[in-house]
Amino acid sequence: MFATYSKLQLGRLRRSALCAFLLSLVAGPLLGQTSPVLRICEIQGASHTSPHKDEQVSTRGIVTAVARNGFYFQDPIGDGDERTSDGMFVYTKKAPRVSAGDEVQATGTVIEYIPDGVATNNLSITQLSQPDHIQTLSTNNPIPAPVVLGAAGRQPPTRVIDNDNFAIFDPAEDGIDFYESLEGMLVEVPDAVAISPTNRFGEIFVLADAGAGQRLNSRGGLNLTPHTLHPQRIQLDDSLLSGDMPAVQVGDALGHVHGPVSYRFGNFEVLVLTEPVVESAGLAPETTALVGTAQHLTVGSFNVLNLDPNDDDNSADIANGQFAAIADQIVHRLRAPDVLALQEVQDNSGAVNDGTTSADQTAQTLMAAIAAAGGPKYAYADVAPPDGADGGQPGGNIRVAYLYQPARVALIGSVERIEDDAFRRSRKPLKAAFDFKGTKLTVINCHFSSKFGSPPLFGRIQPPTNGGLTQRLAQAAFIHDLVANLLTVDPNANIVVLGDLNESPFPLAPVQPPPGDVLQTLVGTPPILFNLGDAVDGDLAYSYNFQGISQQLDYLLVSSALLALQPEFDYVHVNTEFPNQASDHDPILARLLLYDRPD
């Protein structure tokens, strides 16, 4: 499919290019054509924006890939400068009349196209837009050999996306410059290994060389660290495939994949030209070993991804099996926790904005699915928010809630919706007290403000900001003070704070200020809460996969009285590594010793 040009072929191409250039100087003016003839590398330049932006130019190359609205072509000779791309996309609006291997000369306007507009903070793509002249000079030419990404070719940077706010174009150090230097060019990812499952857009994040030299976790993922956002991650996309991207899970091998480099939705991506041949790594969903006993209570947290029973709101949670899948995970993977804190429960009508706020049908549908999966009888508790008050999907009236087993625990009084300015336009925490054989347990279920407003990691704002951080810090401070007040009344109180905190367990150095540590703010100094995730091998401490980075967003913290009784904790990996997800979060679970006398 690809060819390395021989010296003879290169000589012919150079002579052909020189002849075409000289001919353009003579014939262009005679034909009324005044567009300068430039090489693709001259149009691309060593920067994120073409030095010939908005100019009418003519250029030529070998077609490497054809899309429904244009084509990629590449100078097979190049200029030998790794900073300047030798390929680019020609936007024709409708299907072009060219084929891979054609040598084409095109005349059009150089534009910097921003996918979905400036407001997205996406980078731009250098394109030749709607050319008024496309000439096929020859056909059946060898396709230029792809640039190999990895040890056998060009190594992507592994630490820095950008550290100079675009002041210096440095592909050797900055990941954002590295991929820009390949924009439009044909590349190959050898021995690609998945570090994310296939998502609903047909995208997979991979590493080259089977992840050699990378610090992968024991399940094949790439964990977030305080000092890097892992620019070596490579996104594969199926836009140029005739069918869909195969469904893969973390750790699966995809062999050698190739395609042109493009950019959309905040990421550079390789548009694969042939369907990858997948070799499964055999990763299996986990089942917790933690179960309730006569002395132990199990308490978990599970973000259930905008769950609602209305299949007419563009999200068919019943028909697509989401209720059944979540119920199966609760019963068979979490082994039916005694108390389960839920986040992202929607009202009965889901995203239909009809004034409904009650989620009783959502709850009944889930509890029926749990029973059908062989689970125990659960009771449900929430406090419906005022219509439209708590953010989330418009119309959904998202909230946190509880499932609990009445045969094992008793709800003391009613649950309390916590109101404070820190939670304005955000999900309100829900405090509940449970009785287990005469011992009281207070649980505070939280879903902190989202990261909405964060720019893309590979976007025009560098370093990226951490959207919503200021509000999450205020929320963490409020919950800390709430717990402190409870402990003032009873220093030995058994308190659990849990839920989706939408934050990493440490500040991220590659992210812009304002500085702040949400988890440390919640814990306090000296600490009054203790994160049970700290006791887990950091290798497995994650509950979310964001663009191929495994990370913690979900937490369970306990007061000192519970910590003294040696609680056990588990991240139960059942969703984030697999393409058929019941939720985009993994649930978490703790087992607490609350009754130390034999029955």
What CATH number is given to the structural domain containing 429?
3.60.10.10
One domain, residues 225 and 164: yes
One domain, residues 322 and 465: yes
The last residue of one of the domains, among 144, 172, 189, is 144
Please check whether residue 36 lies inside any domain of the structure: yes
Average pLDDT over residues 113-117: 96
pLDDT of residue 23: 43
One domain, residues 83 and 231: no
One domain, residues 217 and 338: no
One domain, residues 332 and 457: yes
Spatial distance between the Cα atoms of 68 and 208, rounded to a whole number of angstroms: 28
One domain, residues 88 and 100: yes
Number of compact structural domains in the chain: 3
One domain, residues 525 and 579: yes
Report the percent of the chain where pLDDT is more than 70: 94
Query: Euclidean distance between the first and final Cα of the chain, in Å?
Result: 73
| Residue 310 domain boundaries | 296-593
Please check whether residue 278 lies inside any domain of the structure: no
Q: What is the CATH number of the domain that holds 194?
A: 2.40.50
Q: Give the DSSP per-residue string, 512-575.
A: PSSP--HHHHHHTTTTSSEEGGGGS-GGG--SEEETTEEE--EEEEE-HHHHTT--EEEE--SS
Please check whether residue 555 lies inside any domain of the structure: yes
Please check whether residue 279 lies inside any domain of the structure: no
Structure tokens at 156: 């992507």
For residue 175, is pLDDT > 50? Answer: yes
Phi, psi of 44 (to 5 degrees): -65, -45
The last residue of one of the domains, among 122, 144, 166, is 144
pLDDT of residue 595: 81
Spatial distance between the Cα atoms of 494 and 417, rounded to a whole number of angstroms: 19
Burial classification of residue 232, based on how many CB atoms lie within 10 Å of its CB (0-12 exposed, 13-18 middle, 19 or more buried): buried
pLDDT bucket at 242, cuts 50 / 70 / 90: very high
One domain, residues 210 and 175: yes
Q: Name every residue whose Cβ is closer than 8 Å to that of residue 110 and which is 6 or more positions away in sequence.
A: 43, 50, 52, 53, 54, 55, 57, 126, 127, 128, 129
pLDDT bucket at 596, cuts 50 / 70 / 90: confident
Please check whether residue 276 lies inside any domain of the structure: no
One domain, residues 426 and 486: yes
pLDDT tens digits for range 26-64: 444 434 457 899 999 999 999 999 999 999 999 999 999
The Cβ of residue 525 has, within 10 Å, a number of other Cβ atoms equal to 8
The last residue of one of the domains, among 99, 126, 144, is 144
Spatial distance between the Cα atoms of 579 and 465, rounded to a whole number of angstroms: 29
Phi, psi of 258 (to 5 degrees): -145, 155
For residue 24, is pLDDT > 60? Answer: no
One domain, residues 452 and 546: yes
One domain, residues 136 and 201: no
User: 286 and 574 in contact (C-beta within 8 Å)?
Assistant: yes
Please check whether residue 281 lies inside any domain of the structure: no
